[in-house]
Structure 1
Amino acid sequence: MKKIILLLFSFCFSVVVFSKSEKVNYFDVKSVVEAGDICRTEYIYSPVLPLNQGNGRFGSSFSQLGLHVPPALSQSDNKYGNTHFMHIEHYGRGKFNADYLLPLLKIYWNNVFSSISSYRQHQSFYDGTIETSFIDNGHSVKVRTWFDALDKDLSCISIDTDKNALYTVVLEPEKILSLHYGQEVSQSVSIVKENSNWKFSLSCLGKQFVFFVKTNAKGIVEDGKLFLTIRGKSNNIQIFYKGKSDVSLVQSLQQTKDWWHQQWEKTSCIKFSDPNVQKMWIRSMALFLATFNDDKLGLAPPTGFAGNSWPFPFPQDLSYIHSVLLSTGNMDIAKSWIEYFSERIEGMKAYTKRLLKVDGILFPWVFPYGPFEGFHDPIPPNKFYYEIHNSGYLAKMAYETSIYVNNVEWTKKYALPLIREAAIFYKSISYKESDGLWHLFVEPSMGQDEKGGFNQKDYLCALYSAKYCFQKAIVCGLDDKGEYKKILKDGLAFASLKSEQGFYYSCQGRGVKDFGQQKHPVQLNELAFLPMGERVSEEALNAYNLRYKITQDAQIPYFYGWTLGEFLLAGSRVGNTDEWLKDWNNMLKSDYIDPNYIQVYETSKAHNMSYYVTTNGLIVQSLINNLVCDWYGELEIAKCYPWLSDVHFKNIHSLMGVSISGSIVNREIKLYLHAWKDTSFYLRGKKVTLKKGDKVDMIFNL
């Protein structure tokens, strides 16, 4: 057993000595995860939020009846988002030479259910399954769905009915696809029987796609659809993308359950006494694991495999989730993203040079699924593709991952090249002016606040990104000529944006005009997205206190995009519990989430844009930072503790080089620190120095 280090810190906190045989009193992860399960017991004869499921490569949302909404009812019943299969490799290059994930397939009942009773739908996050059961006119029906966690190109469905019942299920690849930017594209469909499989061949946007369906149900093909007769028990349907597989339904279910059980055990876990907070935590973590993995085939869009709105990934949005992956121990996924980006450096450099005529990397607003060659040629779809703050988020992901990976060779190969090119980009658009400060400007360009102006000077979000990139380039030994050090010494042009109220405007030119009309409060970026120093600045604190006045419609309350998520995360880092609770409660008041805390809408009342995983990332970051915060280069425990009830947590990973477990009960904090590298940091004003493998137990008051 690793040695236990006992530290004595006078008045700040005391350490309780545990015997070497005593173990930390962890909670039961299974019961905590199951507290987030979704269980519906009433069938509603109107549109209802579908339930989302996936394995990081293949996924879908499913309706109340366990399958998808029939195409004929899509206009009325898709109020809360789409229901169809999506696969990360099922994409085409369409309008604007952009890459679009394409809907793969719908599977739906060909029957009308008019008298449903004994209804139950249960999503088990611990098992990775959805089970739907009901009685239809005296006949029992049960549907179970899952996406195989090991054979990730496989989706499985099992249907049981009474032996006297007769139903039909339809598998239909749609022949007309409505895509982003007003596209309607046609798709040719061919379905043929090939031994024990049905082979589906699709052709769309100049690409050929193949998938297979294996089933023991009798089937016939009509008009590009496969009709399956469902009778009795064990009607099995397996959908294999690309190739065939010999994995049985029983084996697939078992290995999927095993994977989810193991994943939950190794992932950081928090047990909240507040049931709604617990639901948000578990359901968000499950959504991350269902939406992303480490296979480097591509990255999911902002609503994942729900397929709502955008059919392509936004790297900025991914950065909000990346921090969660690092702090919850999902290093394999977080690490793979940095490798994925780094392996495409040359494409990003060429993309930047073609569009902006400057050196370095403008981290693309939207990342391609295919090659960079020809991507967005000749120009991207609109001005929002030129948001020049984005490269700072690439550098942050790379830098923080390198700390957790803690491997010099990996850092040199993958992380440093990204940080180097991001810093070069900001240097290439920096100019020293007569005020002695360095200003940023390039055409075309856009800021993070999408309601702000185009081609403006000194976007605040970009100044934050430039400062961060220059700081990290210096730390990483990438400032050979001392240029970044000089720029930081002279100062970037923050002062030119300072308002009379003591906060920064969003940019030169339109900053004053944009006050109160901003979609996103970029003034909070140093609290939420990019750490700037060892303490909160006066300007950021002023902006936080004015956040409801800065942001359009926030006082209604109504929030656009991920804005309320940023409010919450900024509040965690400021440490204002009353204001944090105000923001948390506004999620429901503003119709930003559904009443059952299942998911987050992209914008208040935007019900058809459900499962906006981007904001889930900010919310979960906020919950973690309420308990464990390392934003300012020290370890702060319970910095923003808004709950009156107890909280227990396990294996939260910190940039300080330790994983943290413990509890807060009756305002008493018990901590268990485990160093995963040699480290030295401050905790409550006292320096803690540990060697890799050291363990520390301590107790102090909130």
Structure 2
Amino acid sequence: MNKTFSKLLLLVAAFTIPSYGCAKGDETVVFDKEAVVCSADVIREIYEKTPTVYLYQGNGRFGSSYGRLGLHLRPSEKKSGYGKTHYLHLEHMGRGKFHSDYLMPVLELFWKDEFREITNYRQQQSYFDATITTSFVADGNSLKVTTWFDAMEKNLSYITIDAKQAGEKVIVAPCEDFTLHYGQQLRQEVSLRKLADGWEVLLNCLGKKSLFYLHTNAQVTQEGNALLLTLNEGENQISISYDAPAKTTAKESLKQTKEWWHAKWQDSGCIMVPDDKVQKTWVRSMAMFLSSYDDTKKGLSPPMGYSGNWWPFYYPQDVSYVHPVLLATGNLDIAKSWIEFWSERVDGLRKYTKRLYGVDGILAPWVFPYGDFEGYHDPTPPNKFYYEIHNSGYFARMACEAAIFVNDEAWTRKYVLPLLSGAAEFYGNICTKGEDGHWHLFVTPSMGQDERGGENQRDYLCAMYSALYCFQKAVEFGIDTNGKYGAILKDGLAFESLKSPQGFYYSCAGRGEADFGSQKHPVQLNELAFLPVNEKPSESASIVYKMRYDITRDAKRPYFYGWTLGEFLLAGSRIGDAEQWQVDWNNMEKSKYVDPEWIQIYETSGNLTTPFYNITNGLVAQSLFNNLVTDWYGVLEIAKCNPWKGRVAVRDIYSKLGVIVSGEMEGEKYDVTLTAWKDTAFRLDDEVIEMKKDDVVRRKNRSCP
């Protein structure tokens, strides 16, 4: 019996033991995290030449997608329409058109010749081990490819190829000619140099010189600007490293990588549900986040991670959809490093805001630079979408929520308050009191989050929510020194001026009914999905949630642009409508938002060139654990939106209320253990629970025996 199958049996057993739902006595559901993670492995046993979703790996700083035969695509296969396969490294970036920063492709590693016949095919991505293993017989030669990115040495990647017969050829080709956003056709200067025990590859483009190193026991010859590897019989080891030659052997690297991932999975929060597609989505989403982000404070990967697809830069708004998942699963090291990285650039943020808007404060850039702010987007950014003025609210929320979990006043003063005060200052400076007695927002240039609501409008709803959140938090964190924000909150922002006859808010003051049914994103769901500004769902939010398919373009087809369906799901979790949540979940597949294997989520329905969209995965993963554990409204709610039939379980889900939640649910019934990670007091149902750090209590709701 193979290891993966045995772990699947363990998982099945966890769902078939007698005491499920609310535990009886001291019995609890068996929750084997390793088995849960292994149940999501991608296993392919039929080789097809037709294009498919490739498999993604990374270590937070270095990554790639790999094709059906374990390596990158051959040049003749590149127009497959399923995205790209090449190495990306976070530090190989340059400043190009519009004085923007872009990650640039590094290398490709592919089979030189097309095989005539493939038999005995098997490909498995192990999320627990963080490896992709591809074995097959090619024209009579048995081959086995294993790939991984070192989890400890972030500049190191390994490939091993076991060959029954010598002679197969692999090409390592630097990416010389490539395109980047905004019509950039670029050529990367390549210089190869033979070393005593390997090869040095110098890449030079957009002012960035990067050194990569190849070491292998295969036979290597230079062919132009590429390296031809002729494989030996037995194991061929290939290392690709950045900045310095690899010192760690393949065996050592694989060992430390597996150990890191095993520990990471065991330490991370997890859910277990009796729905195979949901379970795979949870594990694969977590694997994508942990493969795409780390705590080294060198910037963040693009929305598709290191897959090389679509955008070569990252958006603070977008990563705010992933940040809560990191906090809730105990990955605070990564989450807080983002805040530190941004806060250490406050001076640049302020100068950038002043130059573009003539306003003091901080407007978080639509796209954050990898380099410094000096000259960034000088004289202007690439297009109108870079002026979306709601961004600082999401920036501030990440900072404020990180402060809760870090739970250190000195850290908050150093890293959080500069970002929060700057964001509140910006909104305060574009806020004026109208004749209606309420406060209105306006600045030029500007754009709303919906992106189809027009430029330079007054009172963008998304920005109003951001301003409200920042003013609330400025008061809460004690930085409303002159009382301005408190006064604005007392008078109220001009939400009512946007209210439609149906009771929901328009996207901005200038559009009214014109946006109805044509919005790209349902910005009216903001308070349910993005910014917790109320103590319960507002009447407007409750109304518009029921109308979400009416206000959003093509949603009834169903077809979804960007992260729209992810927002639908998360809003449903927060409002607590399990039936409608299931409607939205079913539309994941109907709208071709996911591939048939449920490996990843596309940026837009059916857009095969944009796979591995971490951003929607962030909203979906939030929705999955919020169905079972949520603190969005400042109280702890268990099984608020449980759509699954049968028993479900959570382990080690962190709440900002100060407890770690583990336990079982069935329908609305729950039996949970709460472990305090700080001194805390909070409400669960009708009870106020007070706990000291490390206290443990068990709670069942009234439905439980």
TM-score greater than 0.5 by the shorter chain: yes
Closer, same or farther: CA 623–666 of 1 in aligned 2, 3 Å: closer
**Cross-structure match for 1:68:** 72
**Cross-structure match for 1:308:** 309
**Cross-structure match for 2:45:** 41
Which string of whole-angstrom CA distances, capped at 9 and with x for unpartnered residues, describes residues 6-41 of structure 1? xxxxxxxxx9997xxx79655111111000100000
Letter in 1 for 2:53: L
Which string of whole-angstrom CA distances, capped at 9 and with x for unpartnered residues, describes residues 240-295 of structure 1? 11112310110000000000000000000111111111000000000000000000
**Cross-structure match for 1:465:** 466
**Cross-structure match for 2:678:** 677
**Cross-structure match for 1:9:** none
**Cross-structure match for 1:265:** 266
**Cross-structure match for 1:595:** 596
**Cross-structure match for 1:82:** 84
1:112-511 to 2 correspondences below 5 Å = 112-163=114-165, 165-511=166-512
Closer, same or farther: CA 289–450 of 1 in aligned 2, 3 Å: same
Alpha-carbon distance, 1:231 to partner: 2.7
Alpha-carbon distance, 1:698 to partner: 2.0
Letter in 2 for 1:56: G
Closer, same or farther: CA 691–586 of 1 in aligned 2, 3 Å: same
Which string of whole-angstrom CA distances, capped at 9 and with x for unpartnered residues, describes residues 609-628 of structure 1? 00000000000000011000
**3-state SS of 2:320 partner:** helix
Which string of whole-angstrom CA distances, capped at 9 and with x for unpartnered residues, describes residues 147-176 of structure 1? 00001100000001113x421100111221
**Cross-structure match for 1:6:** none
**Cross-structure match for 1:664:** 665
**3-state SS of 2:221 partner:** strand
The runs of 5 or more residues in structure 1 that have no matched partner are 1-14
**Cross-structure match for 2:619:** 618
**Cross-structure match for 1:609:** 610
- Return the alpha-carbon distance in structure 1 between the equivalents of residues 125 and 245 of structure 2: 28
**Cross-structure match for 1:688:** 689
Q: Is the 8 A contact 2:639 2:669 kept in 1?
A: no
Alpha-carbon distance, 1:139 to partner: 1.3
- State percent identity of aligned pairs: 55
**Cross-structure match for 1:59:** 63
Q: Is the 8 A contact 2:640 2:668 kept in 1?
A: no
Q: Is the 8 A contact 2:300 2:314 kept in 1?
A: yes
- Return the alpha-carbon distance in structure 2 between the equivalents of residues 220 and 333 of structure 1: 41
**3-state SS of 1:494 partner:** helix
- Return the alpha-carbon distance in structure 2 between the equivalents of residues 174 and 88 of structure 1: 16
Q: Is the 8 A contact 2:219 2:232 kept in 1?
A: no
Closer, same or farther: CA 284–17 of 1 in aligned 2, 3 Å: closer
Alpha-carbon distance, 1:641 to partner: 0.7
- Return the alpha-carbon distance in structure 1 between the equivalents of residues 576 and 64 of structure 2: 38
- Return the alpha-carbon distance in structure 1 between the equivalents of residues 401 and 612 of structure 2: 27
- Return the alpha-carbon distance in structure 2 between the equivalents of residues 187 and 686 of structure 1: 63
- Return the alpha-carbon distance in structure 2 between the equivalents of residues 645 and 345 of structure 1: 49
Q: Is the 8 A contact 2:212 2:244 kept in 1?
A: yes
- Return the alpha-carbon distance in structure 1 between the equivalents of residues 113 and 512 of structure 2: 57
**3-state SS of 1:306 partner:** coil
**Cross-structure match for 2:14:** none
Closer, same or farther: CA 178–685 of 1 in aligned 2, 3 Å: same
Letter in 2 for 1:38: V
- Return the alpha-carbon distance in structure 1 between the equivalents of residues 23 and 627 of structure 2: 24
Letter in 2 for 1:684: D
Alpha-carbon distance, 1:206 to partner: 2.2
Q: Is the 8 A contact 2:112 2:170 kept in 1?
A: yes
Q: What is the TM-score with the length of structure 1 in the denominator? A: 0.96
**Cross-structure match for 1:100:** 102
- Return the alpha-carbon distance in structure 1 between the equivalents of residues 279 and 668 of structure 2: 19
- Return the alpha-carbon distance in structure 1 between the equivalents of residues 668 and 300 of structure 2: 41
Alpha-carbon distance, 1:603 to partner: 0.2
Letter in 1 for 2:436: D
Q: What is the TM-score with the length of structure 2 in the denominator? A: 0.95
- Return the alpha-carbon distance in structure 1 between the equivalents of residues 406 and 84 of structure 2: 38
Q: Is the 8 A contact 1:26 1:650 kept in 2?
A: no
Which string of whole-angstrom CA distances, capped at 9 and with x for unpartnered residues, describes residues 379-429 of structure 1? 000000000000000110011111111111111111111111110010010
Alpha-carbon distance, 1:666 to partner: 7.2
More moved, 251-260 vs 511-520 = 511-520
Matched, 1:544 2:528: no
**Cross-structure match for 1:580:** 581
Letter in 2 for 1:42: I
Q: Is the 8 A contact 2:57 2:149 kept in 1?
A: yes
Q: Is the 8 A contact 1:652 1:660 kept in 2?
A: yes
Closer, same or farther: CA 190–545 of 1 in aligned 2, 3 Å: same
**3-state SS of 2:314 partner:** coil
Closer, same or farther: CA 434–148 of 1 in aligned 2, 3 Å: same
- Return the alpha-carbon distance in structure 2 between the equivalents of residues 159 and 39 of structure 1: 19
**3-state SS of 1:236 partner:** strand
- Return the alpha-carbon distance in structure 2 between the equivalents of residues 235 and 111 of structure 1: 18
Q: Is the 8 A contact 1:352 1:358 kept in 2?
A: yes
**3-state SS of 2:306 partner:** helix
Which string of whole-angstrom CA distances, capped at 9 and with x for unpartnered residues, describes residues 309-353 of structure 1? 110000000000000000010000001001011001111100000
- Return the alpha-carbon distance in structure 2 between the equivalents of residues 685 and 386 of structure 1: 45
- Return the alpha-carbon distance in structure 1 between the equivalents of residues 686 and 388 of structure 2: 39
Q: Is the 8 A contact 2:177 2:185 kept in 1?
A: yes
Closer, same or farther: CA 360–279 of 1 in aligned 2, 3 Å: same
Letter in 2 for 1:49: V
Alpha-carbon distance, 1:207 to partner: 2.1
- Return the alpha-carbon distance in structure 1 between the equivalents of residues 610 and 412 of structure 2: 37
Letter in 1 for 2:204: S
Matched, 1:643 2:647: no
Closer, same or farther: CA 123–17 of 1 in aligned 2, 3 Å: closer
Matched positions, count? 682
Which string of whole-angstrom CA distances, capped at 9 and with x for unpartnered residues, describes residues 454-488 of structure 1? 00000000000000000000000010111001001
Q: Is the 8 A contact 1:16 1:697 kept in 2?
A: no
- Return the alpha-carbon distance in structure 1 between the equivalents of residues 461 and 665 of structure 2: 38
- Return the alpha-carbon distance in structure 2 between the equivalents of residues 399 and 206 of structure 1: 36
Which string of whole-angstrom CA distances, capped at 9 and with x for unpartnered residues, describes residues 647-680 of structure 1? 1110100011100000124764110000111111
Q: Is the 8 A contact 1:274 1:645 kept in 2?
A: no
- Return the alpha-carbon distance in structure 2 between the equivalents of residues 466 and 664 of structure 1: 37
**Cross-structure match for 2:633:** 632
Q: Is the 8 A contact 1:17 1:697 kept in 2?
A: no
- Return the alpha-carbon distance in structure 2 between the equivalents of residues 340 and 287 of structure 1: 21
Letter in 1 for 2:56: N
**3-state SS of 1:208 partner:** strand
Q: Is the 8 A contact 2:643 2:667 kept in 1?
A: no
**3-state SS of 1:92 partner:** strand
- Return the alpha-carbon distance in structure 2 between the equivalents of residues 515 and 253 of structure 1: 54
Alpha-carbon distance, 1:586 to partner: 0.2
Q: Is the 8 A contact 2:642 2:667 kept in 1?
A: no
